[in-house]
Structure 1
């Protein structure tokens, strides 16, 4: 199983520019409250990772309840909005309109361009190692920014399919990029792409807000050609900053319904019919996030960790972050899985 350690320095302000992040958080919390006030269309769920029903209460925030799976330690929200409610949140809510705004596009572009460049290189490398046909279609599911689409298009030679983009997108074919259509208007369901012989399904920061992650995995499996790849990135509930900060971590509904542990992520992928190829946690921000949040009023962290952050050097912090990456303890999780060739 491949492990990834990233030595480049990344600052939290580059990922979450403070002002824009406050606006995202505010609009998301307000949109989640609107669904709660409506009071219908919520459903209880078992663990989205392993499917287990035994659980312990974790904490509540903004009217939503997070639980910890007793079997795999996945952190998840239940009850949660059903698919209709989540479709409204992602595509028609105040939070969705803000993400489609010119201000968001402009202010977040530098971050997304940098991150998308690394992600596209990662996908290109995986494609080459998997020996997939260069012309096989690649499906990008719910991209958050145009930069993600542009970076992948530059790196891939075949057709790039977009499904349910979360940014303001024109419905047209241009430069090898294809929208997935459904009888004249709107977006087709992933299930309708079954048998398309797609080479890869890519979902960056998507699993966290899926109402039913296992259904997404199974639909992806059906759409892929034998040997095709599933490439996921997500926040990880078993990672350092979330485990240390817990209810004080940067989680808010409905962006974070599912915070899979490393073990829960593996189980989810296997339940979807896939063979796990690679699991890594190449996050760079856990220690920095804990150090910043620990300075806020009312936030308590373990005494040893507070001592470490106060009295040890930046180099020591970097080495701790590298340790978290190496031992699958960062809060940024990447999973690569493959549809078996005999499937």
Structure 2
């Protein structure tokens, strides 16, 4: 998989442009200073300023996080009314929907079903939090009819798309989904953690949705990935106020254990770190040398990153 297949350059740059403009419209006087959102440590150092948003690195767990950040009310309003959010749902996602189905959702569905069977998780019902149009659950249903599928989705249009696919939907955010507490064998959430105001509150809400002995599986962006560590503030993944939280491997472990999970496993099966860095820079001597070694070297270096948990694409499996 190549970056351009799921993020075409021209349309992605327009989304980033709108995101930057939207970020400048928010009243920064109402922003909140926070401790590390993963381990709650107060000690951190400034890493960089991007589009007037400050990013810090936690001195304890090395999570990267935006502080000060929009307060909860500002962030909720931003996602429902900003031009960049509208552009994502009406222009960007429709343009890449089928490519992402093939390159992202279908492989993830296979990986999830394989994981369920390999680890003998005993899953009968699944809930996807922030399900969007329900593509992941739709692909899971194509692989196996063994699971009863549910979605929690705050956007009414996206929720309607899920219902068209026969998925039971709760039109809500997970933090308010009390009527579905202690209900699911497996709770999924893909690429949501980086967006939320409070990772701890979000992970706690996933904990509440799972049955005792049930599991939560999330994917998200981690700070210790090669692309983000290399590019830092030049990384397109770092785009406030959409992406506020980039937890380290330790940070993911800390926030899940802090929310009450008994067992936490973190791995980084990413495929795009090397391609992203190659596309983003021409003045990195190491990357230039790596490219001269050819496709096999690039492929094997990406495999090295995955093996040592150094890809930014992170998976977390936690048992309640």
1:169–1:280: structure 2 CA closer, same or farther, 3 Å change rule? same
Higher helix proportion: 2
SS where residue 311 of structure 2 aligns? coil
Superposed CA offset, 1:217-258 (max 9, x none): 112212211121111111110111111111211121122200
Q: 2:167 aligns with which of 154, 157, 177?
A: 177
Q: 2:185 aligns with which of 190, 193, 199?
A: 199
Tell me the residue number matched to 1:31.
22
Aligned residues: 315
How do 1:68-83 residues align onto structure 2 when only pairs under 5 Å count? 68-83=57-72
Q: Distance in 2 between matches of 1:195 and 1:145?
A: 23
Tell me the residue number matched to 1:290.
277
Are 1:335 and 2:313 an aligned pair?
Answer: no
1:201–1:170: structure 2 CA closer, same or farther, 3 Å change rule? closer
Tell me the residue number matched to 2:303.
322
* Offset of residue 319 of structure 1: 1.1
Tell me the residue number matched to 1:142.
130
Tell me the residue number matched to 1:254.
241
SS where residue 76 of structure 1 aligns? strand
Tell me the residue number matched to 1:20.
11
Superposed CA offset, 1:174-208 (max 9, x none): 55412214xxxx66744514534212211111000
CA contact (8 A) 1:266 1:276 kept: no
Query: Where does structure 1 lack aligned partners over 5 or more consecutive residues?
Result: 1-9
1:240–1:170: structure 2 CA closer, same or farther, 3 Å change rule? closer
Q: 1:281 aligns with which of 257, 264, 268?
A: 268
How do 1:72-111 residues align onto structure 2 when only pairs under 5 Å count? 72-101=61-90, 103-111=91-99
Flag as ranges the 4+ runs of structure 1 deviating above 6 A: none
Superposed CA offset, 1:105-153 (max 9, x none): 431112321211111122223333343242x3x2211134442342234
Q: Distance in 2 between matches of 1:307 and 1:125?
A: 37
Q: Distance in 2 between matches of 1:202 and 1:248?
A: 30
Query: Where does structure 2 lack aligned partners over 5 or more consecutive residues?
Result: none
Q: 1:212 aligns with which of 184, 187, 198?
A: 198
* Higher relative contact order structure (alpha carbons within 8 Å, sequence separation ≥ 6): 1
CA contact (8 A) 1:198 1:225 kept: yes
Tell me the residue number matched to 1:3.
none
Query: Which deviates more from structure 2 when the two are superposed, residues 148-157 or residues 81-90?
Result: 148-157
Tell me the residue number matched to 1:63.
52
